[in-house]
């Protein structure tokens, strides 16, 4: 089973994004990276007649360094496989940044998990390999990601690197498979207008003992 198919199955089984709901790790951002203040209140109602861009409804959270780190991690989770593009090429980092920047309770909890986990990941990479995660070699990055992806527990503690990775994996998966590219990869054919609708097949209606008519 390849990585992309495994992620599809994981998303179908989990039926949701949020798997970790408590602050973790207690780490702070690395020196030189200021952690933005969380937004307060709620965003404005969306104007559905106007195209919006990241940051239109609330200030975004990620610094440039954090965006690079998130991009590297996202492309490890969903790489370019020659058939479909990587996570970053369809804007998944923007989706994750928007998610952790939204001023709603669940998003604020996820924000802390993501920021603390990213800080820990950088610190661990520097401690073990002498470079930040985004600047380390592909082999060193994969060592850390493989370790985070393995958990001896069905539900890892919220303060673990596994909990951080599971949340990032879920967000990257949802961000990817809700884009046109991702939905095509899944084979999703919903929201497609039909020129005509002939109703259910007559043999199916008969087999179910139904009547193919609408009574007003």
DSSP secondary structure, 183-199, as one string: HHHHT---S---S----
Q: Give the residue-averaged pLDDT of 141-154.
A: 82
- What Å distances lie between residue 63 and 2, 27, 113, 161, CA to CA? 32, 17, 16, 21
pLDDT for 151: 65
Helix 64-77 with 138-149: angle, nearest 10 deg: 70
Query: Can you tell me the mean pLDDT for 56-68?
Result: 92
| Residue 213 pLDDT exceeds 80 | no
Return the closest-CA partner of residue 116 out of 164, 81, 170: 164
Q: Give pLDDT tens digits for 68-119.
A: 999 999 999 999 999 999 999 999 999 999 999 999 999 999 999 999 999 9
pLDDT band at 40 (very low <50, low <70, confident <90, very high): low
């Amino acid at each position: 089973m390849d990585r992309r198919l495994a992620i599809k199955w994981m998303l179908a089984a989990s039926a949701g994004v949020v798997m970790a709901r408590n602050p973790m790790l207690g780490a702070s951002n690395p020196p030189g990276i200021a952690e933005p203040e969380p937004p307060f209140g709620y965003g404005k109602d969306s104007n559905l007649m106007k195209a919006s861009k990241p940051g239109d409804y609330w200030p975004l959270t990620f610094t440039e360094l954090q965006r690079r780190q998130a991009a590297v991690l996202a492309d490890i989770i969903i790489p370019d496989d020659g058939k479909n593009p990587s996570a970053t090429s369809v804007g998944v980092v923007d989706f994750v940044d928007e998610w952790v920047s939204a001023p709603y309770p669940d998003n604020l909890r996820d924000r802390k998990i993501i920021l603390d986990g990213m800080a820990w990941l950088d610190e661990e990479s520097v401690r073990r390999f002498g470079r930040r995660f985004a600047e380390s070699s592909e082999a060193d990055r994969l060592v850390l990601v493989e370790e985070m992806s393995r958990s001896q527990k069905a539900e890892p503690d919220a303060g673990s690197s596994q909990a951080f990775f599971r949340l990032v994996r879920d967000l990257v998966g949802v961000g990817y498979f809700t884009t046109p590219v991702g939905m095509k990869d899944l084979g999703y054919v919903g929201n497609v207008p039909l020129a005509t609708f002939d109703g259910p097949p007559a043999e199916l209606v008969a087999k179910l003992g139904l009547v193919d008519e609408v009574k007003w």
